[in-house]
Amino acid sequence: MKVKMWGVRGSIPAPGPSTVRYGGNTTCIEVRSDDDSLIILDAGTGIFPLAQTLLTRLPITASIFITHTHWDHIQGLPFFVPLYIPGNMVRIHGAYDLVSMQGIEQVMNVQMQYSYFPIREAELRAGVEYETLTVGEPVAVGDATVTPVLLNHPVPNLGYRVACNGRSMFFTGDHEPWANIYPPDDPEHANYQAMIDHRYTELYAALGELDLLICDAAYTLAEYPPKIGWGHGTFDHAIKFAQRIGAKRLMCTHHEPTRSDDELERVFAEAMSRHPEPGCEVMLGREGLEILL
């Protein structure tokens, strides 16, 4: 199984000379199973350069798994060129939207209204299928299995565990560690903590052993307190998460868009200095990085 990063920034694209080493595109990950089945995790702006590479391999079948429908994870979807070419098949998977009360089938229709985009969903020429997922129920893609896991974000966010022939990886999408919102002396503290403990028990059981964890690490410890509840984690959160589940490799992603590459390396080094023996290989996600599992 091969993993390639096409977008690693969070919130908004950040192109320019200060982000050229790690890249300015928002989230998109290409996964190729052993039988070369194509799995795409999220459709941020990074899906556009990925699409250009696919044009030499037509026709294609692509299974796109959307973690959640915030703009930085879907804004590249209308620019996924294979959607406009007859003979291709694109399957789009994602969560049920508790606000609109609709499944993932709305993701293209909403973006491709004439008020926002010059081409309507009805004008797509590829075969397009939608599947609204159920947490914990795996989806077969060729010889791989993709299992959605519910994580913590202001909207439903599905992390995805991809397994193939004994190798596995997990992508959190956007995730903030669960924390007790009640002080210890509050009567609700114990019940809320029990809920958190249950969530973590379910999460660890769902993940099992991992060869690679790709984890939201948007903030530093100093930046995090005023942003509690925004739905993102820190480098330290990601490292502790990898240690807890025994991941062999950790890739930190969803880089803060205002952070230059130099600054990104500096804050990453500071975080690593607090974890001199992390127990796994820890790296920064960057566009073009490929990992063979």
Q: Domains of the chain by range and CATH?
A: 2-292 (3.60.15.10)
What are the DSSP calls for 133-196, one per residue? --TT--EEETTEEEEEEEE-SSS-EEEEEEEETTEEEEE--S-------S-TTSTTHHHHHHHH
Is 278 in contact with 199 (CB distance < 8 Å)? no
Residue 97: the pLDDT is: 84
Indicate the burial class of 286 (C-beta count within 10 angstroms; 0-12, 13-18, 19 or more): middle
Residue 108: the pLDDT is: 87
Instruction: Name which of 133, 5, 130 is nearest 63 in CA terms.
Output: 130
Residue 100: the pLDDT is: 80
| Predicted model pTM | 0.96
Cα–Cα distance, 188 to 239 (Å, whole number): 29
Residue count of the chain, please give it: 293
Structure-derived torsion over alpha carbons of residues 19, 23, 25, 27, reported in degrees to the nearest 10: -120
pLDDT tens track, the chain, 293 positions: 999 999 999 999 999 999 999 999 999 999 999 999 999 999 999 999 999 999 999 999 999 999 999 999 999 999 999 999 999 999 999 999 887 888 899 888 889 998 999 999 999 999 999 999 999 999 999 999 999 999 999 998 999 999 999 999 999 999 999 999 999 999 999 999 999 999 999 999 999 889 999 999 999 999 999 999 999 999 999 999 999 999 999 999 999 999 999 999 999 999 999 999 999 999 999 999 999 99
Helices 261-273 and 235-245, interaxial angle, to 10°?
Answer: 50
> CA-CA distances (angstroms) from residue 78 to 16, 24, 111?
23, 19, 8
Backbone φ/ψ region at 221: left (φ over 0), alpha (ψ -120 to 50), beta: alpha
